[in-house]
Amino acid sequence: MAIEAWFMEDSREDQRLPHHRSPKESVSLDHLAELGVLYWQLNPNDYENDEELSKIRESRGYNYMDLLDLCPEKVENYEEKLKNFYTEHIHGDEEIRYCLGGSGYFDVRDKGDCWIRIWIRAGDLIVLPAGIYHRFTLDTRNYIKLMRLFVGEPVWTPFNRPQEDHPARKEYIKRLTEKPGVPLEAH
């Protein structure tokens, strides 16, 4: 099953709900690619031996990996962590996440500053480019198992909005405006 994405309604209700606009406005993989969001569908049941995952990691230089179970029973200060993940921010590097179980939402800003909600489930590997405004939350199942990938040592620092002068944000905006409508290859 391919990833699902849609434009979000403006709502203060539970962040774990889908928040579809009415009527629902789906977002294509091509539209996500124009924003620099990359996606692969892999086999989460055999990730240790997955040749496609190995090729992706090698070709993109993802040499660090760890696993994270995110749920109330396994994470200390769960509500606080979820609140922090849901605060709009950027990173100076790509954010690479491979869902091995459960599900959750990555929300990214489009060129018009609207939220796009991306629902990731087991088998979805997603790459958010450096400098894109985003946030993360679980869905109502309250569980996700993620593989986190990095180039080199992991950098966990989020830079909360506004960050228009951050070098990663400036580079992201430059790449978006140089070739509008053309898929961005995340760096």
Distance (Å, whole) CA 173 – CA 182:
14
**Would the CA dihedral through 132, 157, 40, 186 be positive or negative?**
positive
Structural contact between residues 21 and 6, judged by C-beta atoms closer than 8 angstroms = yes
CA max distance for the chain: 46
Structural contact between residues 100 and 144, judged by C-beta atoms closer than 8 angstroms = no
Token output for 117: 């909600």
Q: pLDDT (tens digit, 9 = 90+) per residue, 11-60?
A: 989 999 999 999 999 999 999 999 999 999 999 999 999 999 999 999 99
Q: Comparing C-alpha atoms, which of 135, 66, 65, 69 is closest to residue 102?
A: 69
> Binding residue per annotation — 187?
no
Structural contact between residues 104 and 136, judged by C-beta atoms closer than 8 angstroms = yes
**Would the CA dihedral through 132, 137, 139, 141 be positive or negative?**
positive
Structural contact between residues 99 and 143, judged by C-beta atoms closer than 8 angstroms = no
> Binding residue per annotation — 91?
yes
Does this model's pTM top 0.85? Answer: yes
> Binding residue per annotation — 95?
yes
Provide the residue-wise pLDDT of the chain in tens; the chain has 187 residues.
679 999 999 898 999 999 999 999 999 999 999 999 999 999 999 999 999 999 999 999 999 999 999 999 999 999 898 889 999 999 999 999 999 999 999 999 999 999 999 999 999 999 999 999 999 999 999 999 999 999 998 887 999 999 999 999 999 999 988 876 667 765 4
